[in-house]
Amino acid sequence: MKITTLENWLRIIINPVKWAKSVTNLILAWAGSRYEHQEVRWISHFLEHMFFKWAEKYKTPKAVAEAVDKFWGEFNAFTWKEYAWYYIKSASRNLEDGMDILSDMLLNSKFDIAEIDKERWVILEEMNMYLDMPKYQVAWEFEELIIWDQPLWWDQIWTKELINWVKTECFKDYQKKLYTPDNIVIVLSWDIENEKWVDLVKKYFAWMSWKKAFEWWELKENTSGEKIRIINKKTEQSHIVIWVKWTPWKDLKNFWKQRVLATLLGWMMSSRMFQNVREQKWLCYQIWTSTDDYTDFWIFSTSAWVTNEKVNLAIESILQEYSKIISNIPDQEELSKAKNYLIWKILLSTEDSENLANMYWTQLLLKWKIISVDEMCEKIEKVTIDDIVNHAKMILKKENIYIAWIWPFAEWSEEKWLDLIEKSWL
């Protein structure tokens, strides 16, 4: 793996995969809500849609789709809080075809007002789709509760107001301020010589000359005092997220401790959450513990879909597993199982060129030193029982707990649920 920086500050991550018959062209821009201002709030996701519409060489959405379909390529894009990415995955012989399409759409899009008007309806329908899915809506609620009204919380899709008024000039201005060579990384995964990669990128992207004009917004702590967020909505299940107050990155070593802790608690089918909350108490169908990693902080959370009448029991059981990890210390066998599971997940992901591309740009996104898969596995192996216990003591405290959920009952008392947190902590 090698990073090359061109004269215009465009960075290329070269990831040779000796066995691969496919090639992944992945382009990452530091964009998303964290780089938005109030006047263009939620524009990042709309811009992603517009890149597929009309450019210089491929002049219609159909022309773009047909160009990729001709070589049976896989083509997609995604906008998140701190980034937007675009990729084409194809047979290796179509490497240049994919790069040609990506460069045309990202550099030469016209943002025609007629296409904008058509896409408004598409995005509104996408928004309605997510509003009908409680598991997404509860995620929005917990993000607002923990982050509050800051750019990082602003959802990628939300607000009909912007969708209905945004014009061509808004897209062009935002593109020039963020889709700049110094703010873009191209990741290429395939068995190919480094020089050929670089020559192709220069051919299609080296002439970019804009300089980034938007800066990200630093996260500020929510001081509202709100710790419980309950949404009344007709659902067959209650959707719960219980998380730990966001914590700034202080030491990257804690990243691997946290990943192992999350795996041990709720990422495996044999994990404590799955076995104790689902299998033994029959309180939910799905439950998992995970981490959300941002450039300067992380969030540790457990999510569950629960029978409506058993919400209080499920919350109590999840909180007890949080507190018991300190008193009921994992033994070496349980720790080894979690570490091996995490290592095996990483190793399995290396069998796909797209997964490898994602693995490396994520490290760059988070402003880390990029390390190899072998180094990742070594860091996981070094996590000890003391590391797990000390990390749990640092983050899993009842005063750090926030809860959001969606259920069909209108009556609730915040005091009641705060009391539940208090009594559930062993």
pLDDT at 345 over 60: yes
Exposed e or buried b per residue across 166-198, where buried means at least 16 C-beta atoms within 10 angstroms of its C-beta: beeebbeebbebbbbbebbbbbbbbebeeeebb
The answer, yes or no, to whether residue 162 has pLDDT greater than 60, is yes
**The predicted structure's pLDDT at residue 349:** 85
Flag whether pLDDT at 286 surpasses 70: yes
pLDDT (mean) for 25-45:
83
Share of residues in the chain with pLDDT > 90 (%)? 38
Give the residue, 40 or 337, on which the prediction is more confident.
337
More confident of the two residues 202 and 140: 202
Question: What pLDDT is recorded for position 120?
Answer: 86
Quote the pLDDT of residue 251. Answer: 67
The pLDDT, as a whole number, for residue 359 is 84
From the list 363, 385, 336, 389, the residue with the least C-alpha distance to 252 is: 363
- pLDDT of residue 377 exceeding 60: yes
Tell me if the domain spanning 228-424 has CATH number 3.30.830.10: yes
How far apart are alpha carbons 14 and 278 in whole angstroms?
43
With respect to CATH, is domain 2-205 assigned 3.30.830.10?
Answer: yes
More confident residue, 384 or 61: 384
pLDDT of 392 above 80: yes
176: pLDDT confidence band, cut at 50, 70 and 90? confident
Cβ distance 291 to 299 under 8 Å? yes
Q: What is the mean pLDDT of residues 95-103?
A: 94
pLDDT at 66: 94
Model confidence at 23: pLDDT above 70:
yes
Q: Determine the pLDDT at residue 368.
A: 72
Look at residue 193 in the predicted model and tell me its pLDDT.
64
Q: 2-205 and 228-424: same fold? A: yes
Question: How is the chain split into domains, by residue range?
Answer: 2-205, 228-424
Does residue 416 have a pLDDT over 80? Answer: no
pTM above 0.75, yes or no: yes
Range in 25-39, 146-160, 285-299, 327-341 the model is least confident about:
146-160
Instruction: Determine the pLDDT at residue 45.
Output: 87
Q: pLDDT of 219-228, one tens digit each?
A: 777 777 788 8
Residue 352 pLDDT level (bands cut at 50, 70, 90): confident
Q: What is the pLDDT of residues 319-342, one digit of tens each?
A: 999 999 988 999 999 999 999 999
Q: Is pLDDT at 126 greater than 60 in this prediction?
A: yes
Q: How confident is the model at residue 18 (pLDDT cuts 50, 70, 90)?
A: confident
Return mean pLDDT, the chain.
Answer: 85
